[in-house]
Structure 1
Amino acid sequence: MIAHADLLLFRLFRWQVAELSADTQVRFQPPDDDWRTAVPGITDMNGNPAGSLNVYLADVRENRRLRSNERERTTVGTEIHETPAPRRVDCHYLISAWSPVTVSPATEPTIDEHALLSEAALALGRSDVLDPVAICAATRPGLPAIPVPAPLLDEQMPVTLLPVEGFPKLGEFWGTMGPSHRWKPCLYAIVTVALKEAPRPAGPMVTTIYSHTLQRDLPATLNTRFHLGGTVHVSAADATPVPLAWVELLTPADTLVTIARADSSGRFVFADVPAGDYHLRARVAALPLPPSPPAPPQPAQPTSPVRAITVPEPSGSYDIVF
C-alpha cells in the first residue's frame, strides 16, 4: 500500500501542477548528491530543462489512534473467513522543489522553486484525502488514465498537510544527504495508508444451534428448540448465492410454518424451530445469471424445488438450490 501512495502522489502532481509535464519531473529518490547531479538534466515534455519535485518518504510510523481489533467475516463455501482490521500507517513525505538553472547575478532559481513548491501545496491541499478513483481517471497530455489498482478500489488515503509542529529533525535529514548539502524548504505531508491482510480461515460455518429449557427438578418439562441457517444457491452445479430470496419453512404437508428473507450473501436463518420433519422452499424475483452467453427467459418468480429436511438435520446442511 505504501507503493500505491507513491503512485497517487505521482499522478496527483503530474495532473494538477502545470509545470510538471513529464514523468521525469516527479521523483522519489533521496535528495542526495546523486539527485543534485541529475537535476540539471531533467526536462519537460518538450525536451527543455525544467523544474522538478523530489517526493521523499522520510519516515513510516503506525497510527495507533486508528488501531482496531474488529474482524470482518466472509463466507467461502462452508467455511467462515476472518479479515483483521488493517493497521493504519502514516507515511511522512518531505517534498522539495528543484530548478535546473544555475545561480547567477541575473537569475535566482530559488524563486522558481518556491513557485513550484506553492503549486504542489495547492495540489495537496485541494482535498483532505487521496481519492484513487479520481486520481487514476485524471488525464492530461502525457498522462493517460489507468485502471484503479484492486487494493485501492474501496480506499481513501487521508492527508495531513504541513502539520504545525513541522518535521522534527529537518536539519539532521539534510545533514545525511551529503557533505555539501544545503538546507531547502520542504512541504511536509503525511499520507495514511491501510496495510491489509489476507482473509484467514476461522472455522466451519455454524448451521444449527439448539437450546434446552425446563423447570428445575421437572425433567418432563424439557423443551428443545433450534436455530438453523443455510444458503440459497443458483443450482447444485453453481454455488453462486442468491441474495434476498424469500425462504419458506413448511410442514411435510406444505403448510407454511414461517418465512425468512435471505441477506445479500444468500444466507437465511430460522429461529425457535421445534424438532421434526419439514420442507424448505425458496422464491426470488430473478436469479443472478452470468452476462454471457445469453440466458433463456426466466419465470416471473423462480421457485426452488422443495427440499425435505429433518431438524436437527443429520447432514448439518440446510442449503437450498434452484
Structure 2
Amino acid sequence: MIEHIDRMLRDLLVARVDGLSAKAQVRFEPPDDNWRTFVGNLSGLALNVYLVELRENRHLRTNERARTQLAGIALSYLAPRRVDLHYLITAWSPATPNQAVEPTVDEHALLYRAAAVLLTAEPLAPAEIYGPGKLPAGFPSQLVDATLPTAVLPADGFPKYAEFWGTMGGRQPWRPGIHLTVTVPVALGAEELGPLVTTQTIQTTAIGHTEAASTDALIRIGGTVLSADGIPIPGAWVRVETPAGDPIHTTHTTPQGHFLVDRLPAGRYRCRARVTGLGERIREFDVPGPAGGYDVTFD
C-alpha cells in the first residue's frame, strides 16, 4: 500500500512542479550523506520525500461492520483502520555555493512550488492525479476511487524536527521542509459468519397456572432478490402476503440483495418483489419450505 502512495506522490510532483522533469529528482531515501552524494551527481534540483512516521488516525476509527455474501456464505467486514503517513519533504540543489551562486535560494523556490502543488491537490485523489483509466498496473482496488485525507503544512508542524535532523549523521544543517500527512486505509480480513439465514424457528409457549396452555412456532425466513443472471439486487421492495393478497410484512433488500421476515406462523405465503425498471415478480411458498429457499428471481 505505502509504495503506491510513494509512487503517486512522485508522479504528482514530477508532473506538476516546475523544475522537475525526471523521476530521479524525487526520491524517498534518508536525507543523509549518501543522499548528498546522490544529489551532487544530478544535473538539476531534487526533492527528498522521506517517510518519517506512521500513526493510527483514531479520529477516523469505527467499529462498524459491513456484510456481504459470497457463494451463499455470509461474510462480515470490520471497517478499515486508518493510518497517517507522515512525510518530510526537503529541497536540494547540486550546486556549490560561491559569490555568484546561492543554491539555497533555488531550494526555497522549489520548496514553495512543491507546497503549492500539494495544497492544490489536497485531498489526494488517485483517479484525479492519474486521470480516468490511467492508474498504474497493480494499483490497490481500495484506492482507485478513494479520496485520501491529506494535511499539508499543519499549523503545529512536525514536533520532532530537531531530533530528526540529529539522526542523519555528520553535520547536517537544519533545513526547512514541508510536513505532509496522507491517511490511508488498512483493510482487515473478512470474518465468515456461515450460510445465509433462510429458515429459523422460534418456539413460544404460553404458560397457565399449572401447565402449558399452548405452544406455537414463529419462523424467520430469509431470501435474496435476484436478476435474471443471478446477481443480487439491492434496495428491492419486498412484501410477504397471505395467498389472498393481505399484507403481512414489508421490507427492502440489503446492499447484498438479502431480506429477512420475522415471526411468521407455519403456512402458505406469497412474496411480492418490485424493482425499478424490472417491474414486479410474485412467487408462493410454504413456511417452512422443504428446501428452505425463498428467493425471488426476475427472469
TM-score computed with the length of structure 2 as normaliser: 0.84
The one of 255, 269, 277 aligned to 2:244? 255
Paired position in structure 2 for 1:170: 161
Q: Which moved more, 1:76-85 or 1:122-131?
A: 122-131
Q: Secondary structure at the match of 1:130?
A: coil
Query: Which residues of 2 match residues 198-213 of structure 1 at below 5 A?
Result: 198-213=189-204
Q: What SS does the corresponding residue of 1:256 show, helix, strand or coil?
A: coil
Give the counterpart of 1:230 among 223, 228, 235.
223
Q: What does residue range 132-171 of structure 1 map to in structure 2 within 5 Å? A: 132-137=126-131, 145-146=134-135, 149-171=140-162
Change in CA separation of 1:257 and 1:75 when aligned onto 2, cut-off 3 Å: farther
Give the match for residue 17 of structure 1.
17
Structure 2 counterpart of 1:101: 95
Question: What amino acid is aligned across from residue 93 of structure 2 in structure 1?
Answer: S
Residue by residue, what CA displacement relative to the aligned partner does 1:116-144 show, whole Å, maximum 9, x if unpaired? 11111122223542112211219xxxxx9
Shift of 1:197: 1.9
Q: Report the Cα distance in structure 1 between the residues aligned to 2:93 and 2:295, rounded to whole angstroms.
A: 67
Structure 1 regions of 5+ residues with no counterpart?
A: 43-48, 139-143, 288-300
- 1:126 maps to 2:120: yes
Q: Report the AA paired with residue 70 of structure 1.
A: E
Quick one: distance in 1 between partners of 2:108 and 2:193?
54
| 2:275 matches 1:312 | no
| Structure 2 gap ranges (5+) | none
Contact 1:8–1:130 (Cα < 8 Å) also in 2:
no
**In 1, Cα distance between the equivalents of 2:142 and 2:44?**
34
Q: Give the direction of change, closer, same or farther, for the CA distance of 1:184–1:248 in structure 2 (3 Å limit).
A: closer
Q: CA deviation at 1:160?
A: 2.2
* Alpha-carbon distance change, 60 to 243 in structure 1, aligned in 2, over 3 angstroms: closer
- Report which of the two has the higher share of strand: 2
**How many residues were matched structurally?**
292
Q: Secondary structure at the match of 1:34?
A: helix
Residue in structure 1 matching 2:110, options 113, 116, 124: 116
1:141 is matched with which residue?
none
Q: Deviations over 1:180-214 (max 9, x none)?
A: 42322211122221111232212222223444555
Percent identity, aligned pairs only, is 43
Amino acid corresponding to residue 289 of structure 2 in structure 1: E
Give the SS at the match of 1:111: helix
1:74 to 48, 68, 76: 68
Pairing 1:37–2:31 present: no
Secondary structure of the corresponding residue to residue 113 of structure 1: helix
Q: Give the SS at the match of 1:14.
A: helix
Whole-angstrom CA distance in 1 between matches of 2:232 and 2:70: 11
Equivalent residue, structure 1, for 2:268: 277
CA distance in 1 between partners of 2:117 and 2:280 (Å): 53
Give the distance between the partners of 2:60 and 2:214, measured in 1 at CA.
Answer: 51
SS in 2 for 1:309: strand
Deviates more, 1:88-97 or 1:164-173: 164-173
| Contact 1:248–1:257, Cα closer than 8 Å, also in 2 | no
Q: CA deviation at 1:283?
A: 5.3
Structure 1 residue 313 displacement after superposition: 2.6
1:62 matched to 2:56? The reply is yes
Contact kept? 1:90, 1:192, Cα under 8 Å: yes
Distance in 2 between residues matched to 1:165 and 1:250, nearest whole Å: 62
CA distance in structure 2 between the partners assigned to 1:3 and 1:249 by the alignment = 52
Q: Aligned-pair distance for 1:215?
A: 4.4
